[in-house]
Amino acid sequence: MLSTQPLSALVAAIVGLAIGGSVLLREPRRGVHVLFATFTFNIALRNLFSFLAAGLESDFFNWAAMLAAVSLPATAQRFFQRFLGDEAGPPPLLRSTVVGAGLFYLALCFGRFVDTSLYHSTWFNFAFAIYVFAGLYLSVYYLYRRYRATPSRVEKIRLLYLVVGGVATVTAALLDVAPSGSSFGNIFIIIYLYFLSQTLVRYRLLDLNELLGRMVVLATLVLIVTLIYGVLVKWVGPDQHGLFFFNALIASTAILIVYDPLRSRVEGAVNKWMFQEKYELTRRIDNLRADLMNIIDVRESVPRVMAALEDSRRVTHASAYFVDPDGSGYELAGHIGPRPEARLDAVANRAFFERLRRAGVVSIEGLEREIAAGKNQQTEEKQNLLLMSRALELLNGSVVVAIVGEEQLLGMLVLRDERLREAYSSDEIDLFRGVAASIGVTLQNSQVYERMKERDRLAALGQMAAGLAHEIRNPLGSIKGAAQLLQPIGQQSSDSTTKEFLDIIVEEANRLNKIVSQFLDYARPYRGDPSPLDVNDVVKKTLQLLEKEEGASRIEISSNLVEGLPPVRADPEQLRQVFLNLSLNALQAMPQTGKLQVSTSLRRSTRRGATAAFLEVRFRDTGVGIPPGDLRNLFIPFFTTKDKGTGLGLPISQRIIENHGGTIEVRSQPGAGASFTVLLPIEADAFASYAESKKGPPPLPADRRTPVLLPSLEPVRKDSAKDPLPAGGRASR
């Protein structure tokens, strides 16, 4: 009957092969993975041959086990050399180890084929043990030397784990080959190899601490399961096979029933005992996610998230950012701790936001690790990594979690604990990702809710507008008609005041009619008739109308229209209304003289996580510009900076473009003019035909950068009969 030592060697061989194979199959596979698998397979072969030598009482397998053990010091030192990097220097006595391996290979071959008594002698086995274990201790000393030299506190703790574990494992293995013998060495080998494999894929120190906690949970569950089996089968006699299988069936059924709740209880108890802070954080995050499920308004969710993170005592800095309506940047929605940057531009930080959207998480440790790996390279990728690190500094964060909805980057949750450099494990980051997912759902629900409110509000406005049209226009028409009848009398009168007052009545009646008409335009549902059209034709007709306007002669109007652009599906009359409104706004922003430049071009951008094409129409003036405080209010109904403006021109224009699936971007500096850019989506088939005809899309201008355009939701289109009232009047800012 075999003793426990050969059986433990078999278990170590099987588990070692599994560990080495799992690392070798990991993608992407690196050189350090191959060296670790070689070292692990070497240990597994040595243990397998030892088991066969004891089980079959075979001298050949005993010799094969010694032959496999010869290369253990060399494979261990080569693995640790690659694992620690070139800056750690070569392992101590590496040449001596290789020379010693060659000498023992020759001695074992000589002893096997010439004099079999050689490797059975006491002095040879003693020298062989000194060579193998001295080489393994030198590998651990190599780790210790690197531990003393590294300046990083986190890396010191990681290496200290490996040093202590290595000393314990080599010592336990040495006790196994001692005359008294034991079975603990193989157990230590299994645990240490598994721990080493995790260090290859888990760069975060806290993940290794979590690993220790999971091992405690697993060991506790194994003991409980073993106890259940042991109680039910212990009293069964050796000849009662039927009763044995019956009790085993009962034990298996009981274990399957209680396993899930038992595992949850054990994990909770171990986490509460070993990781009190993580346990408290998990509890608060679970409560927070339950609260967020009942919130629709995202403005209410952000303060709750910030309060919950602050109460967890695991976060000293936190902030939430949401995307702008036009997707040009991300604005601060709430924070705890020192105030971070109020806004991050999507163009200037394009690499950062693209990485965040693709990976879901960006951490300062990960960026620093990538920068250190390519520190001797001057590449564009390294510059992007440095820019991403700079973005994290502006955000006052060490970990940024993406808030994603329908493959769009809707925002981000920024976290930091200034007390620790590596503050959050991967499991805790997954908890934060769950919070970000809940915020994303709340944000989308909030947008849908706002659209429903907007629809109801517009319906109410439509009803009120219909009443206004009847109640105001009828008496207004009478007033205007009476004033026009009196105008000839006023012209014949010698009193100039009478004529002036009559002209004022007619003028103000016309202005009031225009206000009512614009109000009706804003309140009525979408009633366009979209069809494929050339936007350049609409722009040209708009400029022809603009040249006839009063004051157009005092400014220079130029156009830069790219010919051959793909068509867009739109209503030409509504587009002309938008373009004329933007042109008139530019004209009125230049009271003396100036220049208006209208241009069209193609823009490649991102929508719903996929590359999309947009047709861009830009109106750039050299007028007085727009104050920063007014930029946020431009598209709010009835907000105006003009003496006689209605404040409905831009809101109407925005609604028209949104109903076409596009957006309007605004850029301005006081005293340096303003730029309004209309973006209209190009259908995939139209762009594919255009690209085929051009043999690929044309290059963008050198001074044109591509912002990340992320419209929140597709616009809701509404159809109704045309309003009988006139649409008169020009929209205003």
Indicate whether 157 and 103 sit together in one domain.
yes
396 domain residue, yes or no: no
Q: Which domain holds residue 264?
A: 204-274
The per-residue b/e assignment along 73-95, b for 16 or more CB within 10 angstroms, e otherwise, is bbbbbbbbbbbbeeebeebebbe
Which has the closest alpha carbon to 711: 433, 435, 451, 394?
A: 451
Burial class of residue 202 (count of CB atoms within 10 Å of its CB; 0-12, 13-18, 19+) = middle
Pull the structure tokens for residue 184. Answer: 């603990």
| Same-domain status, 550 and 590 | yes
Identify the domain boundary among 174, 201, 228.
Answer: 201
Looking at residues 54-80, what average pLDDT do you find? 89
- Residue 704 belongs to some domain of the structure: no
Give me the number of domains the chain comprises. Answer: 3
Domain co-membership, 211 together with 196: no
If one compares 432 and 209, the residue with the highest pLDDT of the two is 432
CATH of the domain at 631: 3.30.565.10
Residue 104 lies in a domain: yes
List 404's β-bridge partners, or say none: 409
Report d(CA 396, CA 340) in Å as an integer.
Answer: 6
Distance from first CA to last CA of the chain, Å, rounded?
Answer: 95
Kindly indicate the confidence band of residue 650, based on its pLDDT and cuts at 50, 70 and 90. confident
Residue type present at position 316: T
- Give CA–CA dist 414/336, Å, rounded: 10
- Say if residue 122 is in the same domain as residue 187: yes
Residues 557 and 568 in one domain: yes
Q: Does 391 reside within a domain?
A: no
- Res 367: pLDDT: 83
Distance CA 505, CA 524 (A): 28
Q: Is 556 a domain residue? A: yes
Are 218 and 111 contained in the same domain? no
Asked whether residue 70 falls in the same domain as residue 163, the answer is yes
Q: Mean of the pLDDT values across residues 610-635?
A: 80
Residue 464: both structure tokens together: 């009120």
Q: Are residue 600 and residue 664 in the same domain, yes or no? A: yes
> Measured between alpha carbons, how far is 598 from 463 in angstroms, rounded to an integer?
38
Q: Based on C-alpha coordinates, what's the Rg of the chain?
A: 38
Query: Which SS3 state, helix, strand or coil, does residue 600 take?
Result: strand
Whether the Cβ atoms of residue 626 and residue 672 lie closer than 8 Å to each other: no
| Contact of 522 with 514, CB cutoff 8 Å | no
Q: Which CATH number characterizes residue 153's domain?
A: 1.20.1070
Task: Give me the pLDDT at residue 485, please.
Answer: 75
Looking at the DSSP assignment, which residues form a beta bridge with residue 416?
317
Q: Give the Cα separation of 637 and 651 in Å (integer).
A: 6
Average pLDDT estimate for 168-173 = 90
pLDDT at 709: 37
Mean pLDDT over the full length of the chain: 77
Instruction: Answer with the one of 201, 235, 258 that is the final residue of a domain.
Output: 201
Q: What percent of the chain has pLDDT over 70?
A: 74
pLDDT digits (tens, 9 = 90+) for 531-547: 888 989 999 988 888 88
Q: Give me the DSSP letters along 349-414.
A: THHHHHHHHHHSEEEHHHHHHHHHHTTT---HHHHHHHHHHHHHHHHT-SEEEEEEETTEEEEEEE
CA distances from 431 to 46, 284, 285, 309 (A): 43, 10, 7, 12
Q: Which of 201, 236, 266 is the last residue of a domain?
A: 201
User: What is the DSSP-derived secondary structure letter of residue 697?
Assistant: P
- What tens digit of pLDDT does each residue of 633-649 get? 777 776 676 666 667 77
60 vs 16: CA distance, rounded Å: 22
Task: Tell me: do 193 and 219 sit in the same domain.
Answer: no
Whether residue 500 contacts residue 694, with contact meaning beta carbons closer than 8 Å, is answered with no
Residue 527 has pLDDT above 70, yes or no: no
Does the residue 662 lie in any domain? yes
Most confident of 125-129, 290-294, 648-652: 125-129
Let me know if residue 218 belongs to a domain.
yes
Q: Is residue 295 part of a domain?
A: no
Q: How many residues does the chain have?
A: 733
184 and 211 co-located in one domain: no
pLDDT of residue 609: 43
Same domain (yes/no): 182, 226: no
How many angstroms separate the CA atoms of 357 and 364, rounded? 16
Residues 190 and 251 in one domain: no
Cis check: omega of the bond before 28, within 30 degrees of 0 = yes
Tell me: the pLDDT tens digits for 15-24?
Answer: 889 988 888 8
In the block, residue with structure tokens 């805790």: 428
- pLDDT greater at residue 733 or residue 716: 733
The sign of the CA dihedral 485, 488, 489, 494 is: positive
Pairing of strands 317-323, 610-621: unpaired
Amino acid letter, 485: L
**Nearest 5°: CA angle at 163, between 160 and 168?**
125
Copy the structure tokens of residue 325: 């309506």
* Three-state secondary structure string covering 117-146: CHHHCHHHHHHHHHHHHHHHHHHHHHHHHH
d(CA 592, CA 621): 13
Q: What is the pLDDT at residue 611? A: 58
